[in-house]
A and B are shown apart, each in its own frame.
Chain A
Amino acid sequence: MTFYTSEIYRIRASVYANQAQLDTVIGIRKYIDQHFDTDLNLNLLSNARFVSKYHLLRLFKRYYGVTPKQYLTDKRIEKSKAYLREGKSVMETCFAMGFESPCSFTTLFKSRTGQRPSEFQKSATFAKSVIS
Chain B
Amino acid sequence: MKVKVISILVLNQEKALDFYTNKLGFVKKTDIPLDGDSRWLTVVSKEEQDGPEILLEPGPLHFEPARIYQKALFDAGIPFTQFNVDDVQAEYERLLALGVEFSLPPTPMGTVKLAVLNDTCGNNIQLVEML
List, in ascending order, chain A residues with CB within 8 A of B77's CB: 2-5
Q: A2-B76, A4-B124, A5-B103 are in contact. Are A12 and B111 (CB under 8 A)?
A: no
B130 CB within 8 Å of chain A: yes
Q: Is the interface of A mostly helix, strand, loop or mixed?
A: helix
The reply to whether B50 and A26 form a contact with Cβ atoms under 8 Å apart is no
Instruction: Assess whether A4 is in contact with B49, with CB atoms less than 8 Å apart.
Output: no
Across the interface, A128 reaches (CB within 8 A) one of B50, B104, B130, namely B50
Contact between A63 and B111 (Cβ–Cβ < 8 Å)?
yes
Q: How many residues of B contact A (CB 8 A)?
A: 22
Given contacts A8-B104, A8-B114, A26-B131, contact A3 B78 (CB under 8 A): yes
Query: Would you give the shortest CB distance from A17 to chain B, in whole angstroms?
Result: 10
Across-interface contacts of B130 in A (CB, < 8 A):
29
The answer to whether A127 and B104 have CB atoms under 8 Å apart is no
Q: How far is the CA of A63 from the CA of B103 in the complex (A)?
A: 26
Instruction: Give complex CA distance A127, B42 in Å.
Output: 14
Count of residues in A whose CB is under 8 Å from the partner chain: 21
In chain B between 63 and 116, which residues have their CB closer than 8 angstroms to a CB of chain A? 76-79, 103-104, 107-111, 114, 116
Partner-A contacts on B (CB < 8 A) = 2, 27, 29, 44, 49-50, 76-79, 103-104, 107-111, 114, 116, 124, 130-131
Give 27 pairs: A residue, B residue, CB < 8 Å, sorted on A. A2-B76, A2-B77, A3-B77, A3-B78, A4-B76, A4-B116, A4-B124, A5-B103, A5-B116, A8-B104, A8-B109, A11-B109, A12-B108, A12-B109, A12-B110, A15-B110, A16-B110, A25-B111, A29-B111, A63-B110, A64-B111, A127-B49, A127-B50, A128-B49, A128-B50, A131-B44, A131-B49
